[in-house]
Amino acid sequence: MKLCHKCGTAWVSEQRFPGHAETCEKCGSYLHCCLNCKLYDPHAPKQCKSPTTELVVDKEKANFCDEFDFAEDKPLERDDTKKQSSRQAWENLFGNE
């Protein structure tokens, strides 16, 4: 199943890939972007498994990559643990407003 990287909404279409400017019907995020591509790898050079892909700086924005292949797995899981511990430390120091 092809899912939006941001909200996890399924992309259903007869097309193989979303159009360049196509967005998620639920959250409005671009679908033809690095974060939805099966070649995206945050640990690879340029964060892409393809050695021939040009650098895309903003991985959430639409791009014209010819090697885009919509990943068919669950959306990225964001680790909010560090964010929560930082927020807690802030609140401990300055209080919660």
pLDDT at position 86: 80
With a cut of 90, say whether residue 94 has pLDDT above it.
Answer: no
Look up the pTM and report it: 0.73
Query: Residue 90's pLDDT is what?
Result: 81
- 3 state DSSP class of 34: helix
8 Å CB contact between 57 and 16: no
Quote the CA–CA distance of 28 and 39 in Å, as a whole number: 22
| Tens-place pLDDT, residues 39-81 | 999 999 899 999 998 999 999 999 999 999 999 875 555 555 6
Confidence of residue 82 (pLDDT cuts 50, 70, 90): low
Single-letter code of the amino acid located at 38? K
DSSP-derived 3-state class of residue 86: helix
Kind plus residue range of the DSSP H or E element containing 61:
none
Q: Can you give the pLDDT at residue 31?
A: 95
The pLDDT of residue 69: 92
pLDDT digits (tens, 9 = 90+) for 7-45: 999 999 999 889 999 999 999 999 999 999 999 999 998
In angstroms, the CA 30 to CA 52 distance is: 23
Nearest one of 53, 11, 13 to 34, comparing CA atoms? 53
The whole-angstrom separation of Cα 30 and Cα 81 is 26
